[in-house]
Chains A and B, each alone.
Chain A
Amino acid sequence: MDLTSALVLAGLGAFHGLNPAMGWLFAVALGLQERSRAAVLRALPPIVLGHAGSVLITLALVSAARLAAPPKLVSYGVAALVCGFGVWRLVRRRHPRWVGMKVSRLQLAGWSFLMATAHGAGLMVLPITLRAGHGTAALVSQSLLTTAIHTLSMLAATTALALVVYERLGVAVLRKAWFNLDSVWAVALIGAGVSAALT
């Protein structure tokens, strides 16, 4: 993996971590509910692991497809899938319904997995992985490395934001600062899909 790919992956990780809908806001809410910073920090690992699980599963599925199908076909397939998902995210608003405010760590990880999957977190990362690597061992190591870089960056962004909002800013900041990342997200997906088609 080259440096550019690693930086793009880290950037996407930070972007995902920045999105309140991906989990740091949930961690802040749980902290406020218990009035405890420890509760904020306790909530973050399951959230980040759920997100990483979603990314890894997406990469694993496409790796399997790459072992079975010609590279061009996989590239165009991924491009169509990622673009199509981005368009769908633009037109369709969804209100996920699963857990409430009282959640176990397992539920929190599951919620994060669903949110990441429903938003296409893994799909956005996918085109980066099409650039290099063939064969089972290469694909496995590349998927793991990709997930690791993305996840570490997401963890850093989400932890920093959760703590800054919990300790300093307060949730009132959301009213002005919570830009509609869903639209940005959808556009990013379409851009990632286009880049997959071009590489």
Chain B
Amino acid sequence: MSQTDLEIVVDDPTAPEEDSPSVVSSGTIEIFVCILLFALAATLGYDNWRTGASWDSTGPEPGYFPFYLSVILGGGSLYGLIAALVAHRKAAETFVTRAQARRVMAVFVPTLLFCLVTQFLGLYVASFLLIASFMRVIGKIAPWKSLLTAFVFTAIMFVTFDIAFDVIMPKGPLEAAFGH
């Protein structure tokens, strides 16, 4: 018998407020991205020109193909820049609200710190710290649950990758102390 009358409810206490003010508009970000892409196209185009973007006795030089791609990327970005500047209506659309930005930062900043910590303490210690602190600080989950989940997950990853599948991850002083 199907039990479709039961309901699963997963509430998120940190859901963003509906009326949060806009931080930046889509139009502004589009203009910014197009300028960045144009700058990238110019830089890569110059580098390819320097490498050699014409023909020699053996055929096209190494920079030939990417140089013309840089030109296409530059053209596309320039078109996008003009289109974004012309489209007034779209410029008013919200790219991110303050509440959304806060939530995005709440995951981005710990991820950035995780990458940094991985470099010095190894991936497994960094994973443990990321999961435990994220669950505790962002999710407001009980400390013992956060620590236990982080430990179990990290241990499973270690056993799966380093032991069972022989995929060696970056290690730090803790693993070295245990002979890994």
A, B bound: no
Report which A residues bind B (CB closer than 8 A): none
Report which B residues bind A (CB closer than 8 A): none
